[in-house]
Amino acid sequence: MHFDPALAAQDAFSQSELELGSDWDRAVELEETFSSNAGAIAREAYEGLLALAQQYPNAHSFQAFCIYITWQQVTEETIARHFETGLKLCETYLASRETRTERDVEQIEELYGSFRAGLGLEEEDEIQAEFRKDTPKGGD
């Protein structure tokens, strides 16, 4: 990996405050619980963060944050469900045409490949080919 997902998660989370509005305090509480615990307590907080993300599909920084922490979940508990969740989150994020940072797109594309590889899906499919084709190259 060419970046640290934990640092990327912190950065994306800090950019999420305006996106979440009145739910920001809840997100902070869940993130603090997730970051300072392990096991069932951390998993509960993680699930709470994902549930919050479903309420804010256009909160791109928060969506990116959830992808990054899903990778953290994969490293803590390497099970197919986390890889599948990461794959779905990445596909939704990458399919969106809303404002996203180029850095997040590149990092999430890298994680997308890692989630796919973790599930044994290393061959490029239509969605991945479309993302690659639509990604601007050069000085644009």
pLDDT at 124 over 80: no
Percentage above 70 pLDDT, the chain = 85
> Is 140 within the bounds of a domain?
no
> Is 36 within the bounds of a domain?
yes
Identify the band that residue 110 occupies on the pLDDT scale cut at 50, 70 and 90.
very high
pLDDT at 134 over 50: yes
Listed in sequence order, the DSSP H helices in the chain are 5-14, 17-20, 24-36, 39-55, 60-76, 80-95, 102-118, 126-134
In the numeric block, which tokens belong to residue 23?
């739910």
Structural domain for 60, as ranges: 5-134
> Is 44 within the bounds of a domain?
yes
Global confidence as pTM: 0.83
The residue among 96, 28, 32, 89 whose CA lies nearest residue 64 is 89
> Is 139 within the bounds of a domain?
no
What is the domain count for the chain?
A: 1
The residue among 56, 49, 110, 111 whose CA lies nearest residue 86 is 111
Per-residue pLDDT at 22: 96
Residues 66-95 have a mean pLDDT of: 93
Residues 106-132 have a mean pLDDT of: 80
